Amino acid sequence: MKIGFFFNFEKSIGGGHFWRCLNIVKKFKKSKMKYYFFSNITDRYFLNLLKRDNINYIKISGKNNKQVLRKLKKKIKLYKIPNFVSDSYKVNYFFEKELKKVVRKLIVIDDYVHRNHFCDLLINNNFLSPHSKAMIKKKNPKINLALGINYNTFNNNFFFKKNYSTKKNINNIFVFFGSSISAELFKVFKIVRFFPEIKFHMIIGNFNKQFSKFKILERKNINTNVYYKLKNEQVLDLINKCDLAIGAGGVNMLERIYLNLPSLVTCIANNQKSSINYLSKKKLIIYLGPCKKLTSERLKNILIRLINNKKIFKSFRKKTLKTCLKLNSNNLLIKKLNSILVR
């Protein structure tokens, strides 16, 4: 059986779509499938990952959606791919309807809740409020749906490395804002000197061009460690080592909650707003506000409050753990995908 994946690979949106698709492949690993990734990847690091996992890569690019669609349909026909997964914000109802003309089964992954789709299965694996789920169902009444965090595309290792501890103190902080974000990292560096007893573990994204500047800052601040191009397993070990996270919304925020790591979260993209607002109301994260309005001073004050008021941090940690324990480790997504693909 053949299955194709299409996603945009841009610095502005990071590598989350790439990792989602790659993790689906790894969940299918034991099955006899051939995988094809259609995208505009140029980074050698990511291309090597595909080569390592025996995934066929076909470069697709164009000046606009019409060009991309035309090339994509042509390649799908050429390689005779009957099953297809789309994970791209640029794909709309018309795009999907055209894709459906050349594939047997079309699966769409979308983080937005207000869009109409033309597919066999729609996946939105964020933390979704009842209102968000109702909106998706209303917009797509005839489509099979996989809604909520239990249909996640997390790395398989996450299921075996969940951290159920309830640490009382903040000794290690995990810091990550995405593949290309620098401004928020600089804001964190401005405050580390106020917390000499805490170790800040700074993850520099794969697209970030300012790694050398962060290494200079690391040498000036002995309570910081800077990491670059870590493997998934290394990131997982760091998350489990830490007591608190500072980061963006998106896939990594969901992973942190799943792994029982309380988070201070800023919003860096529109598609993150729905999940962030819902989780903030549930007190599963502390929302720092949109990234453009986030200041080092605000971040410092919130950290001081958490450190000085252990009751607040304890309550925060308990809520995260309670949610973590409820989340399903069974591979619901693959079961759902199989039920669609074999029809």
Q: What is the pLDDT of residue 165?
A: 72
Q: Which amino acid is at 226?
A: V
Q: Which amino acid is at 314?
A: K
Q: Between 13 and 158, name the one with better pLDDT.
A: 158
Burial class (CB in 10 A: 0-12, 13-18, 19+), 216: exposed
pTM value?
Answer: 0.90
178: left (phi over 0), alpha (psi -120 to 50) or beta: left
- The most confident of the ranges 205-209, 221-225, 338-342 is 221-225
Considering only CA atoms, which of 40, 51, 48 is closest in space to residue 6? 40
Please say if the pLDDT value at position 118 is more than 70: yes
Q: Which domains does the chain have, with CATH numbers?
A: 2-155+330-341 (3.40.50.11190), 158-326 (3.40.50.2000)
Question: DSSP class of residue 192?
Answer: G
Q: Which long-range contacts (CB under 8 A, 24 or more apart) does 159-162 make?
A: 159/329, 161/236, 161/237, 161/240, 161/259, 162/258, 162/259, 162/260, 162/324, 162/329
pLDDT band at 43 (very low <50, low <70, confident <90, very high): confident
Q: What is the pLDDT of residue 196?
A: 96
Give percent of the chain above pLDDT 90.
Answer: 59
Give percent of the chain above pLDDT 70.
Answer: 94
Q: Are 250 and 13 in contact (CB under 8 A)?
A: no
Instruction: Give the span between the Cα atoms of 206 and 10, in whole angstroms.
Output: 11
DSSP-derived 3-state class of residue 204: strand
Two tokens at 288? 């720092």
Greatest pairwise CA separation for the chain in angstroms: 62
Q: What is the pLDDT of residue 310?
A: 86
Q: Between 58 and 341, name the one with better pLDDT.
A: 58
Give residues with Cβ within 8 angstroms of 64, minimum separation 6: none
pLDDT band at 322 (very low <50, low <70, confident <90, very high): confident
- The most confident of the ranges 4-13, 59-68, 317-326 is 59-68
Please say if the pLDDT value at position 61 is more than 80: yes
Two tokens at 178? 């995405």
pLDDT tens digits along 244-270:
999 999 888 988 988 889 999 999 888
Please say if the pLDDT value at position 31 is more than 70: no
**How does DSSP assign 220-231, residue by residue?**
H-TTEEEEES--
Q: What is the pLDDT of residue 317?
A: 87
Q: Are 276 and 253 in contact (CB under 8 A)?
A: yes
Please say if the pLDDT value at position 171 is more than 80: yes
Q: Are 72 and 6 in contact (CB under 8 A)?
A: yes
